[in-house]
Amino acid sequence: MSTAPGRFWGIGVGPGDPELITLKAARLISSADVVAYHAGVGKTSNARRIAAELIPDDVIEEELRYPVTTGDTSHPGGYAGAMAAFYEEASGRLAAHLAAGRDVVLLAEGDPLFYGSFMYMHDRLADTYETEIVPGVPAFAAAASAVAAPLVRQTDVLTVLPGTLPEAELARRLADTDGAIIMKLGRTFPAVRRALATAGRLEHAVYVERASMPAQRWLPVADVDPDSVPYFSLIVVAGDSLHGAGRRAAGHAVSSPIADPGAEDPRLVTKPRVAELLVVGLGPGPAEWVTPEVTAALAGVDHVVGYAPYVARVPQREGLSRHASGNTVELDRARAALDLALAGERVAVVSGGDAGVFGMATAVFEAAADPAYAEVPIRVLPGVSAVQAVAARAGAPIGGDFAVLSLSDRLKPWSVIEQRLRAVAQADLVLAVYNPASRSRTHQVVEAQKVLLEHRSPDTVVIVGRDVGRAEESLTVTTLAELDADTVDMKCLLIVGGSRTTVSPTGAVWTPRSVD
């Protein structure tokens, strides 16, 4: 007679106080056949300590002791290899119990799915055995309660960050959020504190140690001795819905550049000297493609305004306010930047590539046509454009005359785009195509391909550059007839060659400057 397999439970036991264990978790622990828990190198299991009073005397216990926590290991696969082997061995031990018909409860500190080791057991067992997860109170909830710090209100955004992030990235993310929780401290604490200072968030950041445990303590991050920070600690940065004005003054991120309609119009109040408004191009992606002129300009401004992914590329530093918004509010962004400059603030509006090529420069000048902004001087700093980057990767396809066209019909009708496509094709110009497709625009590449084939040879060279300059970069050289429109998306730029565009034996694409 076969035995029905047991059920696998992932049980969150909370942050430390046994009284924070849920009723459901308590019932399942008390009735389990097997209670498993992880333990650090040379340490007792904190999860077991929390649930100790609930574990039956006659239950089978499985201690899953990590082979390494941090540091060096002799495993040939390094730390990752050692941990992968451990999880395989540990899941095998639990699977043996489950196969024998025993219900297995795996205890997890806090919540099982929040930075927990339970997830790695779930990955290996859930497809084979019936699995259920019981949530637990996460450590950050207990920490926020300890310091009575409202994390977020209304539309504030809460971000949970590991302290192991690179310092610059951590600073950027701290500047771009309202409330924040920083986990995984210990040896990362000095870098985390520097990131908080860089983001202008140090003053209100609170360090909490052993939340809900008898040894719980909390104090301002600025007052913490870095050598005293244990693993069971985190940092709470409360949301700022009640202190929006203070955040701006302190150099924090602003979630939207659109002015508060209830606020006093900055154009109607007495202002200091009007500041110059900079409009800068950040290049296609790599930091080394940002010009020294732009780097110097960004180091001297107090505000950065732009589309969120571009604002995110600007390194955070103390005193810098970041005004990030969506992709369809260019004029609102421009007006917000002009208002800041009118009030004497040093501002840079950022674009990817070159700000003057389908970028923010045009929107700024359009908004500045309002007489209210007549006093604001505007200076555009060039950047490496996407077409230059793709062309350089391919060889020299735009070495002769060429045209640049966007397939986006958001700001102009498709009939105009089609007319221009025909004109470029008839003129035998190399064509660089920006914005070929997006989530909401999926047919334009097919339509453009049909129009161009009416005037160009099917063998016309086409270059598809995707994410050029970034880790995901790819470059495909094909022909106009063989171009697969389904592979083209918003991350691509196309270059359609002319009649004399050539692919060399080495694969380089080039267009001669001479014309027969």
Helix (H) or strand (E) holding 477: strand 474-479
Note the pLDDT of residue 248: 36
> Residue 237, SS3?
strand
- Residues 134-144 pLDDT 10s: 999 999 999 99
Q: Terminal CA-to-CA distance of the chain, rounded, Å?
A: 88
Note the pLDDT of residue 160: 95
CA–CA gap between residue 11 and residue 26 (Å, rounded):
9
Quickly state the pLDDT bin for 190 (edges 50, 70, 90): very high
Least confident of 195-199, 238-242, 293-297: 238-242
CA–CA gap between residue 417 and residue 512 (Å, rounded):
27
Note the pLDDT of residue 71: 61
Note the pLDDT of residue 255: 40
Note the pLDDT of residue 486: 84
Which tops the pLDDT comparison, 398 or 266? 398
Quickly state the pLDDT bin for 72 (edges 50, 70, 90): low
What letters, b where the CB count within 10 A reaches 16 and e where it falls short, cover 221-233? beebeeeebebbb
Which tops the pLDDT comparison, 79 or 178? 178
Mean local confidence (pLDDT), 69-88:
79
CA–CA gap between residue 174 and residue 169 (Å, rounded):
9
pLDDT at 269 over 50: no
CA–CA gap between residue 395 and residue 501 (Å, rounded):
11
Note the pLDDT of residue 264: 52
Quickly state the pLDDT bin for 470 (edges 50, 70, 90): confident
CA–CA gap between residue 162 and residue 459 (Å, rounded):
51
CA–CA gap between residue 14 and residue 16 (Å, rounded):
6
pLDDT at 268 over 90: no
Note the pLDDT of residue 258: 43
pLDDT at 437 over 90: no
Mean local confidence (pLDDT), 382-409:
92
- Residues 117-133 pLDDT 10s: 999 999 999 999 999 99
DSSP 412-465: S-HHHHHHHHHHHHHTT-EEEEES---SS--SHHHHHHHHHHTTS-TT-EEEEE
CA–CA gap between residue 115 and residue 137 (Å, rounded):
13
Mean local confidence (pLDDT), 259-279:
62
Arithmetic mean of pLDDT over the chain: 87
pLDDT at 42 over 60: yes
Mean local confidence (pLDDT), 162-167:
91
Whether this model's pTM surpasses 0.85? no
Q: Are 509 and 497 in contact (CB under 8 A)?
A: yes
pLDDT at 408 over 80: yes
CA–CA gap between residue 334 and residue 345 (Å, rounded):
14
pLDDT at 262 over 50: no
Mean local confidence (pLDDT), 327-348:
90
- Residues 489-502 pLDDT 10s: 888 999 999 999 99
Domains detected in the chain:
8-136 (3.40.1010.10), 140-244 (3.30.950.10), 271-384 (3.40.1010.10), 387-510 (3.30.950.10)
Note the pLDDT of residue 154: 85
Note the pLDDT of residue 240: 60
pLDDT at 165 over 50: yes
- Residues 81-106 pLDDT 10s: 888 899 999 999 999 999 999 999 99
pLDDT at 259 over 70: no
